[in-house]
Structure 1
Amino acid sequence: MPRRIMFVQLKTGYDTDRGPSWIGWVDFSKTWGTAYFHGRTLRRAGWLSDANFYDLETNEEFWVSGPKRDRTDTRYGPSAPTIEPDAADDYHAFLDGSPLPGRENG
């Protein structure tokens, strides 16, 4: 199962880019159509306007994407994402110029 450090933001119930967000490990299915994060099963959804995944159990919408080195992951968000402790070392190395694990070749 592919595993990547990703930016994840809850969209449901919040104004644009105001929901809680995290930088952490996300596991993906072989087809990349399903993501697993914080015990949730998220399914890719191309029809959503402000999100690209939804929770299969709660229908909450999420934005899942690779983190940005310039830390502009949210467009209008007031605060930085929570960095998950188990991803912190690799994320900080990424901010310092290293490739993300699993993305060494692009």
Structure 2
Amino acid sequence: MSEKLIYAELMTGYFHNGPAWIGFAKSSKSGKTLYFNGMALKRGADGYRANYWDLLSGNAYWVSGVKKRGTNRHTFGNGTIIIEKRAVAAFLKHVNLADLPKGLSVETLLPAAPQPEFHKRENLPLEQWLGQRRFLS
């Protein structure tokens, strides 16, 4: 699994002001699943507001690379962005800064390793899987 620095924002129940994180995510072999902050994020949400969804909760997320200009949140969004403690050095190098900008809070995130429940859920027969997935509105 490869690891990359990402920006992730919870979209379910929010309009560009949901909880947001910057940290390392591990990618599956196919690249269609990201393991981040204890979640398995699958590509393929509605694409307008979100491009990934959490395999276990069904919540929608906007996931992208970290922008060098620091404009990760949508123009109309606001709120503190949590940055993973071990990602601070990589983030500062990526954005070419010496110190963290305002609006970032450093915290320890959950491990990104895949859990057996993720694989169990993904390998259900299609009919069962569709019945368990909450579709986005």
Higher relative contact order (CA 8 A, sep 6+): 1
CA distance in 2, matches of 1:71, 1:79: 14
Largest Rg, 1 or 2? 2
AA of the residue aligned to 1:84: E
Given the alignment of the two structures, is residue 53 of structure 1 paired with residue 55 of structure 2, yes or no?
no
CA distance in 2, matches of 1:59, 1:46: 10
AA of the residue aligned to 1:89: A
Shift of 1:48: 3.9
CA distance in 2, matches of 1:27, 1:51: 19
What does the per-residue CA deviation read over 1:34-82, in whole Å, with 9 as the maximum and x for residues that have no partner? 0111111111015343101001111000011101111111112213421
Query: TM-score of the superposition, structure 1-length normalised?
Result: 0.84
CA distance in 1, matches of 2:57, 2:31: 20
Count how many residue pairs are aligned between Structure 1 and Structure 2.
Answer: 96
Given the alignment of the two structures, is residue 92 of structure 1 paired with residue 92 of structure 2, yes or no?
yes
Match of 1:39 in 2: 38
Query: TM-score of the superposition, structure 2-length normalised?
Result: 0.66
CA distance in 1, matches of 2:86, 2:36: 13
AA of the residue aligned to 2:64: S
In structure 2, list runs of 5 or more residues that go unmatched: 98-137
Quick check: which one's helix share is greater? 2
